[in-house]
């Protein structure tokens, strides 16, 4: 038995790849070729860093383009 350091080495998702409004983040799946060979793949959300009004004050937040387009975010100028 090994009694070394017991740090938890989980795969962390990048902070840039998550929307602060709808919590959309990286999705995992399987890519299937024409010959039906399967391999892992990821779908990353289109996240932009924008200056928006949050609780009455302008802040920089990460927002996906779907939330920007639907009007869930009020842009600060």
Q: Check which CATH number belongs to the domain holding 55 and give it.
A: 2.30.170.40
Q: Which residue has the higher pLDDT, 14 or 25?
A: 25
In a domain, 45, yes or no: yes
**Domain hosting residue 37, numbered range:** 15-70
Using the predicted structure, report yes or no on whether residue 49 has a pLDDT greater than 80: yes
In a domain, 39, yes or no: yes
Model pTM score: 0.68
Using the predicted structure, report yes or no on whether residue 54 has a pLDDT greater than 60: yes
In a domain, 7, yes or no: no
In a domain, 31, yes or no: yes
Judge contact between 62 and 49, C-beta under 8 A. Answer: yes
Judge contact between 24 and 13, C-beta under 8 A. Answer: no
Q: Which residue has the higher pLDDT, 41 or 3?
A: 41
Using the predicted structure, report yes or no on whether residue 47 has a pLDDT greater than 60: yes
In a domain, 20, yes or no: yes
Instruction: Note the pLDDT of residue 77.
Output: 81
Count the domains in the chain.
1
In a domain, 44, yes or no: yes
């Amino acid at each position: 038995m090994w009694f070394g350091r017991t740090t938890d080495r989980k795969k962390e998702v990048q902070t840039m790849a998550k929307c602060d409004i709808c919590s959309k983040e990286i999705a995992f799946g399987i890519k299937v070729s024409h010959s039906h060979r399967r391999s892992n793949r990821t779908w990353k959300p289109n996240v932009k860093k924008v200056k928006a009004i949050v609780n009455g004050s302008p802040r920089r937040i990460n927002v996906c383009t779907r939330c920007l387009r639907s009007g869930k975010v009020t842009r600060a100028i």
